[in-house]
């Protein structure tokens, strides 16, 4: 079942609720989503079998690594997951981006068109979202940019955590700032924590209130790992073997 496009932006259910109750409702109604940041269909299919994958983010660089046709890859990925699949426009000017976005939206019902956080990108976001096409505005590095994306009707805003960390700025502080602004004004735009490089990034994004995190498959797989879990399991298996019993 694909992502259904609405004729117009959905009304925010929080607009009828104020104060702490609104924040509590948001947390109950919107559990954190896990997206895979990859164009490797084998990895996506494998993660999808876990039942924990809510969507996929791609970009031209990731798809170029596959050596396959861009549209074919997007279509195949859309068939593997029910949630949104971000497909990025390759151009940077308004007219070409808009035309590309409309073509991408026709590939599958669960395509989410990705555009850069520029004035032309925001114009495309406004045009597509007004037509009911979900848009992921990417390359966000400050809260003002996130505010603009929400005003333009973005379904997702993608702040790049790791790249901010590289410059000596705390990427998670940006997540917290955006969360506060969006909650202040009941924006529907979901915060999609991107440029996630470690399991600690995932944890910190969850603590900061990100609606979604997108990470490479290896980071998602590493979430289950802890040396004490491995050690404890070895002990349990050994102790059970000593009993000579079977279940």
In sequence order, which residues have a C-beta less than 8 Å from that of residue 209 and are 6 or more positions away? 175, 176, 179, 191
Q: State yes or no: pLDDT of 53 exceeds 80.
A: yes
Residue 11 domain-assigned (yes or no): no
For residue 148, give the CATH number of its domain: 3.20.20.70
Q: Average the pLDDT over 207-229 and give the result.
A: 97
Which pLDDT score, from 0 to 100, does residue 30 have? 74
Which pLDDT score, from 0 to 100, does residue 28 have? 53
Q: State yes or no: pLDDT of 23 exceeds 70.
A: no
Residue 234 domain-assigned (yes or no): yes
Which pLDDT score, from 0 to 100, does residue 135 have? 98
Q: State yes or no: pLDDT of 199 exceeds 90.
A: yes
In sequence order, which residues have a C-beta less than 8 Å from that of residue 196 and are 6 or more positions away? 37, 161, 162, 202, 205, 213, 214, 215, 216, 219
Give percent of the chain above pLDDT 70.
88
Which pLDDT score, from 0 to 100, does residue 66 have? 85
Residue 109 domain-assigned (yes or no): yes
pLDDT-derived band at 210 (thresholds 50, 70, 90) equals very high
Residue 2 domain-assigned (yes or no): no
Which residues are known to be catalytic? 114
Is the pTM value of this prediction over 0.85?
yes
Per the prediction, the chain carries an average pLDDT of: 91
Q: Average the pLDDT over 109-115 and give the result.
A: 98
Residue 4 domain-assigned (yes or no): no
Residue 3 domain-assigned (yes or no): no
Q: Average the pLDDT over 46-60 and give the result.
A: 94
Q: What is the pLDDT of residues 162-189, one digit of tens each?
A: 999 999 999 999 999 999 999 999 999 9
Beta carbons of 157 and 178 less than 8 angstroms apart? yes
Q: State yes or no: pLDDT of 87 exceeds 90.
A: yes
Residue 69 domain-assigned (yes or no): yes
> What's the number of domains the chain is made of?
1
Residue 12 domain-assigned (yes or no): no
Q: State yes or no: pLDDT of 33 exceeds 50.
A: yes
Instruction: Tell me the torsion sign for CA atoms 219, 223, 224, 225.
Output: positive
Where helices occur in the chain by DSSP H, the ranges are: 20-29, 41-48, 60-66, 70-80, 94-105, 119-130, 143-151, 161-166, 171-185, 199-208, 217-222, 227-243
Beta carbons of 146 and 157 less than 8 angstroms apart? yes
Q: State yes or no: pLDDT of 12 exceeds 90.
A: no
Q: What is the pLDDT of residues 146-155, one digit of tens each?
A: 999 999 999 9
Instruction: Measure the CA–CA gap between 62 and 42, rounded to whole angstroms.
Output: 14
Q: What is the pLDDT of residues 59-82, one digit of tens each?
A: 888 898 888 999 999 999 999 999
State the residue range of the domain holding 107: 17-243
Give percent of the chain above pLDDT 90.
84
Which pLDDT score, from 0 to 100, does residue 65 have? 86
Q: Average the pLDDT over 44-67 and give the result.
A: 93
Q: Average the pLDDT over 200-213 and give the result.
A: 98
């Amino acid at each position: 079942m694909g992502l259904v496009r609405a004729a117009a932006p959905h009304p925010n259910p929080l607009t009828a609720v104020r104060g702490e109750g609104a924040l509590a409702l948001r947390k109950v109604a919107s559990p954190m989503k896990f997206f895979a940041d990859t164009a490797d269909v084998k990895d996506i299919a494998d993660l999808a079998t876990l039942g924990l994958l809510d969507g996929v983010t791609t970009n031209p660089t990731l798809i170029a690594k596959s050596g396959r046709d861009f549209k074919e890859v997007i279509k195949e990925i859309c068939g593997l997951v029910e949630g949104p699949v971000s497909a990025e426009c390759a151009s940077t000017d308004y007219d070409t981006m808009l035309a590309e976005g409309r073509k991408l939206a026709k590939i599958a019902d669960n395509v989410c068109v990705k555009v850069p956080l520029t004035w032309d990108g925001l114009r495309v976001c406004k045009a597509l979202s007004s037509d009911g096409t979900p848009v992921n505005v990417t390359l966000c590095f400050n809260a003002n940019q996130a505010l603009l994306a929400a005003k333009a009707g973005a379904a997702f805003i993608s702040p790049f955590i790791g790249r901010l960390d590289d410059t000596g700025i705390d990427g998670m502080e940006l997540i917290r700032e955006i969360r506060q602004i969006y909650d202040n004004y009941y924006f529907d735009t979901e915060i999609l924590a991107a440029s996630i490089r470690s399991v600690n990034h995932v944890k910190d994004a969850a603590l900061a209130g990100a609606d979604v995190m997108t990470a490479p498959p290896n980071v998602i797989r590493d979430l289950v790992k802890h040396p004490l879990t491995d050690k404890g399991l070895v002990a349990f298996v050994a102790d059970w073997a000593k009993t000579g019993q079977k279940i």
